[in-house]
Chain A
Amino acid sequence: DIVMTQTPLSSPVTLGQPASISCRSSQSLVHSNGNTYLSWLQQRPGQPPRLLIYKISNRFSGVPDRFSGSGAGTDFTLKISRVEAEDVGVYYCMQATQFPYTFGQGTKLEIK
C-alpha cells in the first residue's frame, strides 16, 4: 500500500498569516495514464470531509482561491495564503492512483 505522510501533524497559525502542509507518498503517484491523483480534503470540527483540491492543484468548485496545491511525483503541498477562522479543522491528503486508496494521518490547523 502507498503510505501518505503529512507534516506537520499540528499547525498553530495566526489569523491572516499563511499556512503550509506537506504530504509525501511512499511511491510516485503518477498513474499509468499520466495523471497524478492526489487530492486534499478539509474536515471542520463535527463535519464530514470536504474536497478542496484534486489532481494536485485544481481547486474544487466553491473553494476560496486562498487555497492552492502544488507538487509532483511523491511530494505535495497545500498552502493557505491567509488563514481565516473558518479554516480551522483537519486537513488530509489522499491518493487514488493505486489501490487501496490511502489518506495521510491528517494535519490539525488551529488558530494561535
Chain B
Amino acid sequence: EVQLVESGGGLVKPGGSLRLSCAASGYTFSSAWMSWVRQAPGKGLEWVGRIKTKTDGGAADYAAPVKGRFTISRDDSKDTVYLQMNSLKIEDTAVYYCTREWYYCMDVWGKGTTVTVSS
C-alpha cells in the first residue's frame, strides 16, 4: 500500500524553527516528485513547495510566502522528504500535508501534521 506519514509538528514560538518529516512506503520513493501543502485552521489548501527527483535535477521550488524561510530536501536512502521551517510566523500555523506529485497532480496524501506558531 502506498503511504505517506508526516511527523515533527508541534507548538513553536514566532521566530522559531521546526523540521517536518514525511516517510514514504509502498512505491519507489526516488522516482517521485514530492510536495508539501498546508491548510490553516478552517481554511483552504495552499501549496508550499516541491522537490524534484535527483534524476530530474533535485531542485526545489517554493511559494512566495515561504521562500527564503522554508527548505525542502529529500533523503532517498531513507525514503523521506523534509520540510525545514525557519523564522516561523503566526500565519504559518496549519496542518502540513506531504503529497506525492504524479504528472502534475497530487495523487497520494499523508494524514498531515499540525504546526502551531504561538507565543
Known A48-B111, A49-B97; contact A94-B105, beta-carbon cutoff 8 A: yes
Q: Cβ of A76 < 8 Å from any Cβ of B?
A: no
How many residues on chain A are close to B (CB under 8 Å)?
A: 27
Q: B44 is contacted by which of A92, A96, A99, A101 (Cβ under 8 Å)?
A: A92
In the docked arrangement, what's the CA distance between A94 and B44, Å?
A: 11
Q: Cβ of B47 < 8 Å from any Cβ of A?
A: yes
Q: Mark A74-91, 1 if CB is under 8 A from B, else 0.
A: 000000000000000010
Q: How far is the CB of B56 from chain A (nearest CB, A)?
A: 15
Assess the B109–A96 pair: CB atoms within 8 A: no
Known A48-B110, A49-B97; contact A102-B47, beta-carbon cutoff 8 A: yes
Return chain A residues, CB-CB under 8 Å to B11: none
In the docked arrangement, what's the CA distance between A100 and B108, Å?
A: 19
Q: Mark B27-55, 1 if CB is under 8 A from A, else 0.
A: 00000000101000000111100100000
Assess the B104–A37 pair: CB atoms within 8 A: yes
Q: How far is the CB of A98 from chain B (nearest CB, A)?
A: 10
Q: Cβ of A41 < 8 Å from any Cβ of B?
A: yes
Q: B105 is contacted by which of A31, A51, A104, A105 (Cβ under 8 Å)?
A: A51
In the docked arrangement, what's the CA distance between A102 and B61, Å?
A: 14
In the docked arrangement, what's the CA distance between A50 and B37, Å?
A: 13
| Residue from the set A54, A55, A100, A104 with the largest chain B CB neighbour count within 10 Å | A100
Give me the interface of A with B, judged by CB distance under 8 Å: 1, 31, 35, 37, 39, 41, 43, 48-51, 54-55, 60, 90, 92, 94, 96-97, 99-106
Give me the interface of B with A, judged by CB distance under 8 Å: 35, 37, 44-47, 50, 61-64, 97, 101, 103-107, 109-112
